[in-house]
A and B are shown apart, each in its own frame.
Chain A
């Protein structure tokens, strides 16, 4: 695969994490009466889902080294510690590589559930390592539904993007 293709893939992942950051900064509670005191319950993992899509769509072109480097740059730009996204990217990349042909015969619902659980696992580890006092099961449950719902738009959106820009 060309270096420019790696660059395009990284730009989409970076944009995903940037969107996560924007969505996180947009506090919906400010616009709902009496919602000021409830804890913040939704966190998206669009960046991680975009990364998962690329590995799922092109497993033969994205290997451990790509996951490691992309994770390192994301850690530098968005992370709380170097190594967290590296570890997650490499792990999820390995799991997708091993089961990619099994995933291809999965239904959309099964894919939604798998990637929803993967994103919730990512969020749980993130909160347990960096914000243990703010760890909440409610947040994980709400985030599961939000991230699961986000998988299909990301899947179809990124697929059309891939067909247009990476051939």
Chain B
């Protein structure tokens, strides 16, 4: 015997729910209506993950310490203490030297990259590596514990060159959209040819489609690619990559694929240029 009896399913309620959800979907996909709400929720998630990670590492450390045998600790106590003091000293000295020199180098290179009046250095909070390696959406989050006012559309560099631009600020995290994101468009210059390069959705690749003209025909593989400065976000004449492929198979149009110089995976600290 059936557990329930067949009942009429009212289509009206479902149709209304479908219309509401479709409206929300279209407004969010086309106009990013709820991006700040989603950003806040996702930032809260990242914070939660960071807190859980640190708690887990503390618990692991705690367990490791308590698993050591007491007798062995007694015997080796003096030796261990001396050794740990020495190791800590060396480690801290090395770490502080490396960190300070890295930050100084980064600061110097950032100032050389443009005539920015101010450069903020931020540590990375989260990187969507899986999305970066597989899919179209390429972004990372930077920690902003001092709650500095960082607006959208500011250039972000990793010391070698620019890697993307700020997108939004959620709680204490700054979202950075990378050049290789399919939603990102970067005006570039190759020799005297100008075009808008769109992210290819693949690591370190951008591409631009353009109608073939005399300037375009001069482009060769390995030609350097510079920012044109026409977007108003990045300063002009900054080297960002090289031409790796020219596809002329489309009639009247050609596609130039550009390999970027700066990989966002190689740095833990990123600089944001303010007041260009």
Interface residues of A (CB under 8 A from B): 24-25, 27, 39-40, 59-60, 63-65, 67-68, 71, 75-77, 79-84, 86-87, 90-91, 93-94, 97-98, 101, 104, 129-134
Contacts and interface: CB of A to CB of B under 8 A. Distances in A.
Given A77-B41, A77-B45, A81-B34, A65 B17 contact: yes
Contact of B14 (A77, A82, A94, A129): A94
Contacts, number: 90
Interface string B125-160: 000001000111100000000000000000000000
Say which size band chain B's interface belongs to.
35 or more
Contacts of B29: 81, 129
Contacts of A64: 13-14, 16-17
Contacts of A77: 41, 45
Given A76-B37, A86-B21, A93-B14, A59 B137 contact: no
A103 to B, nearest CB: 12
B143 to A, nearest CB: 21
A101 B41 contact: no
Contact of A59 (B4, B24, B134, B135): B4
A133 B28 contact: no
Interface of B: 2, 4, 6-7, 9, 11, 13-14, 16-18, 20-29, 33-34, 37-38, 41, 45, 130, 134-137, 182, 200-201
A34 B21 CA distance: 43
A87 B136 contact: no
Q: Which 8 A-B pairs have the closest CB atoms?
A: A83-B25, A83-B24, A86-B21, A87-B21, A81-B28, A133-B201, A97-B9, A94-B14
